[in-house]
Amino acid sequence: VLRNAVHVEEPEVEKCVRDVMKEKKIEQKDTGFKTNLHISLLQISGYKKLYLNVENLRKVPYDSDNEEHEEQLIELWNLLMPHENLKARITKQWCDIGFQGDDPKTDFRGMGLLGLVNLVYFSKHYTDEARQILSHSNHPKLGYSYAIVGINLTEMAYSLLKNGALKSHLYNVVSGLPQMEHFHQFYCYLVYEFDKFWFEEEPESIMHFNQYREKFHEKIKGLLLDCDVILTLQN
């Protein structure tokens, strides 16, 4: 009964709680147990649902013929570079915010639309921080490609969600169904903390990026082992 209960949709959770209590001969009027089990089942099934939603977004390839995709890309530019207009849709200007070439769509291949949605979310909800980090990324000695690193951190957040490492964090953040919003918030934490980490470490050059990314990844995995962990930025 319990094994089935962790796979059900939200409307069926209440019935599953009653079934579990009946099976284990727990009084139905034990409201404390009932409430805690209800929350736990929502969190467990919600985590699985969140992963599927994130995975579905990752599977959507960036399509330059899709108006919504293009609007989000332009929004990203406008949020980060409010005082500079794009001269064209395909332009070297994209390198100013850390894309590799003159058309950002090629950089979204690995993470699909998820990479863009994450970048826009951070720039929209933490605009000052995003512009500050973009400014850091242009440092003459310790600079890095802002957008490329951002997409790389999307992959990190995605893999931590996929392998279950984010469970304690998400269960502590929300007593119920975790939403896409909560995944985006964790991503924002990663971007902010990675920038601090990069400048504290002072790598010799961007050529050592993978080595320091892995070191940062291990640090985050270590933090997530704490069952009381909450890794979010405060507005």
Kindly report, residue by residue over 180-193, the tens digit of the pLDDT.
999 999 999 999 99
Q: Is the pLDDT of residue 234 over 90?
A: no
pLDDT at site 224: 97
CB distance 104 to 147 below 8 Å: yes
Q: How far apart are CA 143 and CA 82, in angstroms?
A: 21
CB distance 77 to 97 below 8 Å: yes
CA-CA-CA-CA dihedral for 108, 186, 55, 60, to nearest 10: -30
Give the confidence band of 82 by pLDDT, cuts at 50, 70, 90.
very high
Write out pLDDT tens, residues 87-114. Answer: 999 999 999 999 999 999 999 988 999 9
Q: Taking residues 48-63, what's their average pLDDT?
A: 96
Q: How far apart are CA 108 and CA 177, in angstroms?
A: 28
User: DSSP assignment, residue 59?
Assistant: T
pLDDT at site 4: 83
Write out pLDDT tens, residues 196-216. Answer: 999 999 999 889 999 999 999
CB distance 62 to 112 below 8 Å: yes
Q: Which amino acid is at 204?
A: E
Give the confidence band of 228 by pLDDT, cuts at 50, 70, 90.
very high
Q: How far apart are CA 50 and CA 209, in angstroms?
A: 30
**Matching residue, tokens 């918030």:** 185
Write out pLDDT tens, residues 119-175. Answer: 999 999 999 999 999 999 999 999 999 999 999 999 999 999 999 999 999 999 998
CB distance 189 to 121 below 8 Å: no
DSSP calls for 80-139 = H-TTS--S-SS-GGGGGGT-SSS-GGGGGTTTHHHHHHHHHHHHHHSHHHHHHHHHHHT-
Q: Give Dmax (Cα) for the chain.
A: 70
- pTM here is 0.92
**Closest-CA residue to 190 (of 163, 164, 219):** 219
DSSP calls for 164-191 = TTTHHHHHHH-SS---HHHHHHHHHHHH
Q: How far apart are the first and last CA of the chain?
A: 41
Q: Is the pLDDT of residue 235 over 60?
A: no
